[in-house]
């Protein structure tokens, strides 16, 4: 089965840029979606089809996808961005990455 690999944690200072990676075999050929989950809450879609933003998601959120790595990019990070982030792809069934905890220092 298809495996998505995310770093367990990423730390960034407020105002800086955070990059959360999602590795998978030839992931660049697939559509990647990203979700944010804050403690005690349901996940929220933040990026779909590699780099599209749902309405209501700030422009600070963007994505890229090429080769074996997809990346969620959070610009001008704020304290409220602290959360777990998950990538998702479809490969004969959907799969989530293991999740990355973003800490805002």
**Chain residues that interact with another protein, rule: CB under 8 A:** 1, 31, 33, 35, 37, 42-45, 48-49, 54, 84, 86, 88, 90, 93-99
Task: State in angstroms the smallest separation of the CB of 43 from another protein.
Answer: 6
47: buried, middle or exposed (CB in 10 Å: 19+, 13-18, 0-12)?
buried
Query: CB of 36: closest distance to another protein in angstroms?
Result: 11
* CB nearer another protein, residue 45 or residue 73: 45
- 69 burial (CB, 10 Å; 0-12 / 13-18 / 19+) is middle
């Amino acid at each position: 089965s298809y495996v998505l690999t995310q770093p367990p944690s990423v730390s960034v200072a407020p105002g800086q840029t955070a990059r959360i990676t999602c590795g998978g075999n030839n992931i660049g050929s697939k559509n990647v979606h990203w979700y944010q989950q804050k403690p005690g809450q349901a996940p929220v879609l933040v990026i779909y089809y590699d780099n599209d933003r749902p309405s209501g998601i700030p422009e600070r959120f963007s994505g890229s996808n090429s080769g074996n790595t997809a990346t969620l990019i959070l610009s001008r990070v704020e304290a409220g961005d602290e959360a777990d982030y998950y990538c998702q792809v479809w490969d004969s069934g959907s799969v989530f990455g293991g999740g990355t905890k973003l800490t805002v220092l």
